[in-house]
Structure 1
Amino acid sequence: MIIATLAAAALALAGPPAAAAERPRLPLRPDGYGVAQPTPPDLVDRRFPTRDVLPPPVDGAFTSTVAPVPDDVLARSTWKPGCPVQPEDLRYVTVVFHGFDGAAHTGELIVAAAVAGDVARVFGDLYEARFPIEEMRVVEPAELAAPPTGDDNNTTAFVCRPATGSTKWSAHALGLAVDVNPFQNPYSKGDLVLPELASAYLDRDRDLPGMIRDGCPVVAAFERIGWTWGGRWTSPVDRHHFSQTGT
């Protein structure tokens, strides 16, 4: 359900991390995913630059919009004929969020029409709590085939794909799931960690910006709209995943 790090002391580090092509590739498991390895030193507690896809808010106050998905947004999303939801049953949501740089940014999500208002309210709560989010943009088709290294730390919702390790549709394919800061909150099952380079964040005793813990503002906000948190699952443990359906 992957498909952007950072202690406060690391905010002064300059320059983006090395490009993915310059990093050593991880050995592959039979399923094609990399075997869990320690996070390279240049990525531990380091902030990636925020990628803005929409203009920043004018005054920094929280605002949100909910509208039918524009044709150009749908065209760059992962929706295609055969997905388990029709475009008219989806909504394009924009919300303001706090970045790891402390500034306000505007992000975008595609979610199911029935939950669009609830999802916007969740991010309003996170904005008030000043919970930092690195990036928030619509997932594009090419990303579905990209190695899950964690080069992006994208908070996102609709992705037309099966659940990880399954042939069944993910709740993301219905617009009924949201992933928040995957790099700080990795998915794990046995020795598999996704994103591949996020192994250092399996230590949940660390208190770093962007991490999600039981009882934190992120869990509380999603629980208020009746969604469940994958961080409470036994196997896999999906620390960045929230969904209405529990999958």
Structure 2
Amino acid sequence: MWRRAAAWAALALALSACSPEAPPPAPSTTTSRTSTASAASTGAAPVTTPSAPAVTWQVGARPLPRRPDGFGEIEPTPPELVNRALPTKDLLPPPAGDAYASTISAVPVDVLARSTWQPACPVKAGDLRYLTMSFRGFDGRAHTGEMLVNATAAAGITKVFGQLFAARFPLEEMRVTGPAELTAPPTGDGNSTSAFVCRPARGQTTWSAHAYGLAVDVNPFCNPYTQGDLVLPELASAYVDRARKRPGMVLAGDATVRAFAAIGWSWGGNWRSPTDRMHFTATGH
């Protein structure tokens, strides 16, 4: 069933009408913190919390050479990403307090303009909904993400991510995919949890379930797609071994799979070829 990815790239290019976006800024680093308030009241010496290792990896900064099929060359996972826990950069204000919060609304004009939606897409703009949802980062903190989904799926998806928030399942980022990402050189290190993307299915010319807003990819780097020698994202080979459990991984029967199953969605991690571990779908595709 696989066809050359050139058809995908050509169709994606035809759909893209917005100017390319700049690559995401480098992740911030975490410095050490010293607790002085309690020390002052007790007379004890200040307690220093060890700092997290400096983050040196900049996502999207290093394009990969392309394979004949149009995807990037598969390379070993860089040491910085073998146990991936990059910090989340807040694009929206984080939630107040520690309770899960979500909103469902019509897609704002500015959000639609920076998304991959075009009139040629198989879903009308009015049939999409804009969600904001709390999520836990790998830093353990609460953040606010955004997502475009089909209107028929909006309530169910906010429920799913509420359950993941309660389970403290970490996500690196959650944002709307932009048109420049469809034609950008492959870097193989993306890890954004997202839903609507107006593109064909991988290696095919038929529309993906993502193009209808009826599929969600969860932590793609931690849950790679594989078929034969192809690994997507291309640097995520360290996560193909599912016996080595790390935060952010989706595993058979876990809270993530159960939460999506409860709204009638299936998991691509159960597929044999390809195996799409990041992928949850309302259509079975």
> TM-score by structure 1 length?
0.91
- Change over 3 Å in CA distance of 1:174–1:28 after alignment to 2: same
For 1:217 and 1:149, how far apart are their aligned partners in 2? 30
Amino acid at match of 1:13: P
Higher relative contact order (CA 8 A, sep 6+): 1
Q: Is the 8 A contact 1:35 1:191 kept in 2?
A: no
Partner of 1:17: 57
Aligned-pair CA distance for 1:150: 3.6
Partner of 1:212: 250
Q: Is the 8 A contact 2:60 2:190 kept in 1?
A: no
- Change over 3 Å in CA distance of 1:156–1:19 after alignment to 2: closer
For 2:116 and 2:214, how far apart are their aligned partners in 1? 15
Is the aligned partner of 1:130 residue 2:168? yes
Aligned-pair CA distance for 1:28: 2.8
SS of 2:258 mapped into structure 1: helix
For 1:200 and 1:108, how far apart are their aligned partners in 2? 28
- Change over 3 Å in CA distance of 1:20–1:78 after alignment to 2: closer
Is the aligned partner of 1:63 residue 2:108? no
Deviations 1:59-110 (A, max 9, x none): 1210110010000100000001110000110000111011000000000000
Partner of 2:159: 121
Q: Is the 8 A contact 1:66 1:94 kept in 2?
A: yes
Q: What number of residue pairs does the alignment pair up?
A: 235
For residues 1-247 of structure 1, the aligned pairs below 5 Å read 12-18=52-58, 20-21=60-61, 23=62, 26-247=64-285
Q: Is the 8 A contact 1:16 1:49 kept in 2?
A: no
Aligned-pair CA distance for 1:145: 1.2
Deviations 1:142-190 (A, max 9, x none): 0111233343310000000001111000000000000000000000111
Q: Is the 8 A contact 2:64 2:185 kept in 1?
A: no
Aligned-residue Cα RMSD (Å) equals 1.5
For 1:151 and 1:16, how far apart are their aligned partners in 2? 14
Please identify runs of 4+ aligned residues in structure 1 that moved more than 6 A.
Answer: none
Q: Unaligned stretches of 5+ in structure 2?
A: 1-50
Q: Is the 8 A contact 2:189 2:236 kept in 1?
A: no
Of the structure 1 ranges 122-131 and 141-150, higher mean CA displacement relative to structure 2 is found in 141-150
Q: Give the percent of matched residue pairs that are identical in Structure 1 and Structure 2.
A: 63
For 2:187 and 2:171, how far apart are their aligned partners in 1? 18
Amino acid at match of 1:17: W
For 1:19 and 1:175, how far apart are their aligned partners in 2? 25
Q: Is the 8 A contact 1:107 1:136 kept in 2?
A: yes
Amino acid at match of 2:107: V
Deviations 1:206-229 (A, max 9, x none): 110000000111100000000010
For 1:63 and 1:200, how far apart are their aligned partners in 2? 33
